[in-house]
Structure 1
Amino acid sequence: YYPNMMTFYLATLDDYTGFEKPKVRTLKAGTQRQYISRCAVCHANLYKQTANGPSAFFAQVKKL
């Protein structure tokens, strides 16, 4: 269970096999982080900017 629906799982690709048909693989305990990571998506409103410009806006986004 994760508290939000905006979570994606990213898998690593090898440089030479990235465009081949994916192979079925069973990940053993302790090796999952070598192949998969979790990414929480930012909920920032990208269309909103502050009076001080976009850099000030992105400084606020980091606080979320």
Structure 2
Amino acid sequence: MPTTVRTRRFVEDLAPGDRISIDGHRGVVKTALPNDDGDLVISLVNSSEERDEVVLSVGTKVDIL
């Protein structure tokens, strides 16, 4: 039975084109830019839901698909 190997990466290390999963929702990173609060605004393309961006705290780990 084949298994899918997932890696985890800190949100501040994401790069455009990374395929990610956050709480079961998938998307492809377009940009990751800091906001005024020190968090990162991750712009997504090809998201599995209606959102096109998500805000995550620095130090958060996400699954890389």
Normalising to structure 2: TM-score of the pair?
Answer: 0.26
Determine which structure has the larger helix proportion and give its number: 1
TM-score by length of 1: 0.26
